[in-house]
């Protein structure tokens, strides 16, 4: 567990400053930071999570591991600082979901954002969606739902419900509750269930344009759909034991968002054409546009946030492609060496398992790493080049469909530390030049910090 504190020489009660806690629930760990009203970071910490159990198209975690990590996070905050917190908000991976009962008991494992095992459910959802659409020819093509595809939250909910009812029998539907990863955090903090934010609700089928659950989604979902609120909305604590019950009654917990949107908020991007690439285990891309874009075949969807449309998607390509072939120590060493440009013409497909989401939705796309060299630096450069090519194709599709010129690309995520990767990106993308941050900071430009902008 890593932490950093700038709090030792400060008294949070010495001024009228508001103290807020931001939490980022990721795939490999949970990160948190506490800031004052001037956005000065007072304390940061992180706790690792066990790697997702990946087998074929399955990718799962257990909420019990989340609780252990979250307990470590909250337990590491100095007591005086903990009791000075006035606002709490979080973000989490989109489309990570499990089922619980009305008492909050976890009934299933969590299917992670990159789990694509719900293919049969996805086919039924696709049929229901198509049947719900108008028959005016090309007009129907303009309709889209974030619930499409085997990695959607709705497909996972249908599959989890089917598995659960097979195991324990039918008749329990009325007691089941859909829990996104962010909803788990809401329950942990407030004891509230069956409420989520509209950004996380998108892949469950929520209509972000008309701000409602479509009739066809209500008809096909086997579990009651949650109440949807805007990110940043205050969620009151329930009359149940929860973490907030240990703190002052004045502490407010706010509805959060997805981790990629929180990362976007950390960058300072604010106008049409501003974009962000989050280089982590996978690669999330967002760009501000004037109008929403929805394209199921390309994996493009749109979030509405603070009066702006964020268009984009998430590729399964990312840092895991490097971890598939290199140790963490080798990655750190090779990242500091210049990328070999003569090695970048090979067209690897930098996936770790079958299936891609963006810039094309193709659940059958296979990883491809041929030809494989005896030289580690050559192979490393080839993977990086493939990741950059994927990123370029994503932005080409976004600018083409939105008719918005790409002005600058902000970068977040662990990939920023990979100098070879950044070298290749800088040659082909209008990268925003980041100010250097102190070497001991963990989250000062990350999602845990960015999500605080919603308060």
- Is residue 449 assigned to a domain? no
- Is residue 451 assigned to a domain? no
pLDDT > 90: percent of the chain: 69
Q: Are residues 43 and 63 in the same domain?
A: yes
Q: Are residues 279 and 139 in the same domain?
A: no
pLDDT tier at 6, thresholds 50, 70, 90: low
Q: Are residues 151 and 213 in the same domain?
A: yes
Contact 111, 156 (CB under 8 A): yes
Positions of E strands within 37-157: 41-48, 53-55, 58-61, 85-92, 97-101, 110-111
pLDDT of the residue at 435: 45
The whole-angstrom separation of Cα 164 and Cα 172 is 9
What is the mean pLDDT of the segment spanning 171-185?
85
- Is residue 382 assigned to a domain? yes
Of 204, 233, 260, which one is at a domain's C-terminal end? 260
- Is residue 391 assigned to a domain? yes
Q: Are residues 244 and 310 in the same domain?
A: no
Mean pLDDT of the chain, nearest integer:
89
Lowest mean pLDDT among 35-39, 156-160, 190-194: 35-39
Structural domains counted in the chain: 2
Q: Which two tokens stand for residue 66?
A: 């989340």
The whole-angstrom separation of Cα 304 and Cα 300 is 14
Contact 273, 287 (CB under 8 A): yes
- Is residue 155 assigned to a domain? yes
pLDDT of the residue at 8: 41
Q: Is the pLDDT of residue 114 over 90?
A: no
Does residue 6 sit in helix, strand or coil? coil
- The half-sphere exposure of 446 on its side-chain side, counting CA atoms within 13 A, is 29
Question: For residues 198-215, b (16+ Cβ closer than 10 Å) or e, as one string?
Answer: bbbbbbbbbbbeeeebbe
Those residues whose C-beta lies under 8 Å from the C-beta of residue 29, and which sit 6 or more positions away, are: 46, 47, 48, 49, 69
Q: Are residues 59 and 180 in the same domain?
A: yes
pLDDT digits (tens, 9 = 90+) for 330-342: 999 999 999 998 7
Q: Are residues 274 and 126 in the same domain?
A: no
Q: Which two tokens stand for residue 366?
A: 């296979």
Global confidence as pTM: 0.84
Q: Are residues 392 and 287 in the same domain?
A: yes
pLDDT of the residue at 355: 86
Give the H/E segment covering residue 383: helix 376-402
Q: Which two tokens stand for residue 409?
A: 């690309």
Q: Are residues 238 and 386 in the same domain?
A: no
pLDDT digits (tens, 9 = 90+) for 194-212: 999 999 999 999 998 899 9
- Is residue 345 assigned to a domain? yes
CATH number at residue 273: 3.30.420.40
pLDDT digits (tens, 9 = 90+) for 57-103: 899 999 999 999 999 999 999 999 999 999 999 999 999 999 999 99
Q: Are residues 284 and 353 in the same domain?
A: yes
pLDDT digits (tens, 9 = 90+) for 125-158: 999 998 998 765 544 444 678 898 888 999 999 9
Q: Are residues 137 and 225 in the same domain?
A: yes
Give the H/E segment covering residue 67: helix 63-76
Structural domain boundaries, residue 76: 2-260
The whole-angstrom separation of Cα 164 and Cα 161 is 5
pLDDT of the residue at 443: 44
What's 433's DSSP letter?
P
pLDDT of the residue at 5: 67
Q: Are residues 153 and 31 in the same domain?
A: yes
Contact 227, 197 (CB under 8 A): no
pLDDT of the residue at 152: 93
pLDDT of the residue at 4: 74
Round to the nearest angstrom and report the end-to-end CA distance of the chain. 27
Of 205, 238, 260, which one is at a domain's C-terminal end? 260
């Amino acid at each position: 567990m890593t932490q950093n504190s700038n709090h030792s020489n400060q008294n949070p009660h010495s001024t009228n400053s508001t103290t807020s806690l931001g939490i980022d629930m990721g795939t490999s760990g949970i990160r948190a930071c506490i800031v004052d009203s001037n956005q000065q970071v007072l304390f940061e910490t992180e706790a690792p999570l066990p790697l997702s159990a990946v087998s074929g198209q399955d990718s799962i975690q257990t909420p019990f591991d989340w609780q252990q990590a979250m307990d470590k996070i909250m337990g590491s905050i100095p007591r005086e600082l903990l009791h000075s917190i006035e606002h709490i908000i979080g973000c989490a991976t989109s489309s990570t979901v499990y089922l619980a009962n009305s008492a909050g008991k976890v009934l299933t494992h969590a299917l992670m954002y990159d789990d694509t095992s719900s293919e049969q459910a996805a086919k039924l959802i696709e049929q229901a969606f198509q049947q719900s659409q108008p028959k005016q020819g090309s007009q129907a093509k303009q309709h889209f739902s974030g619930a499409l595809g085997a990695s959607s939250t709705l497909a996972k909910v249908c599959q989890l419900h089917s598995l659960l009812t097979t195991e324990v029998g039918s008749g329990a539907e009325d007691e089941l509750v859909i829990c996104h990863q962010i909803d788990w955090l809401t329950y942990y903090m407030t004891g509230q269930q069956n409420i989520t934010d509209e950004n996380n609700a998108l892949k469950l089928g929520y209509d972000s344009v008309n701000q409602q659950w479509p009739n066809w989604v209500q008809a096909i979902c086997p579990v009651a759909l949650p109440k949807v609120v805007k990110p940043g909305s205050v969620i009151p604590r329930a009359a149940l034991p929860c973490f907030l019950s240990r703190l002052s009654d004045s502490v407010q917990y706010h509805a959060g968002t997805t981790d990629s949107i929180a990362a976007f908020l950390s960058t300072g991007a604010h106008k049409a054409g501003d974009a962000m690439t989050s280089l982590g285990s996978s690669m999330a891309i967002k760009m501000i546009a004037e109008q929403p874009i929805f394209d199921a075949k390309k994996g493009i969807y749109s979030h509405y946030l603070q009066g702006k449309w964020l268009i984009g998607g998430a590729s399964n390509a990312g840092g895991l492609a490097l971890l598939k072939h290199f140790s963490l120590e080798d990655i750190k060493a090779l990242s500091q060496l210049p990328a070999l440009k003569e090695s970048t013409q090979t067209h690897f497909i930098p996936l770790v398992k079958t299936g891609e989401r963006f810039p094309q939705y193709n659940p059958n796309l296979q990883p491809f790493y041929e030809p494989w060299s005896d030289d580690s630096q050559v192979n490393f450069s080839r993977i990086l080049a493939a990741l950059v090519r994927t990123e370029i194709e994503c932005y080409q599709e976004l600018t083409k469909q939105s008719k918005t010129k790409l002005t600058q690309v902000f970068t977040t995520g662990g990939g920023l530390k990979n100098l070879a990767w950044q070298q290749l990106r800088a040659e082909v993308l209008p990268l925003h030049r980041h100010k250097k941050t102190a070497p001991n900071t963990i989250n000062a430009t990350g999602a845990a910090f960015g999500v605080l902008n919603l308060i």
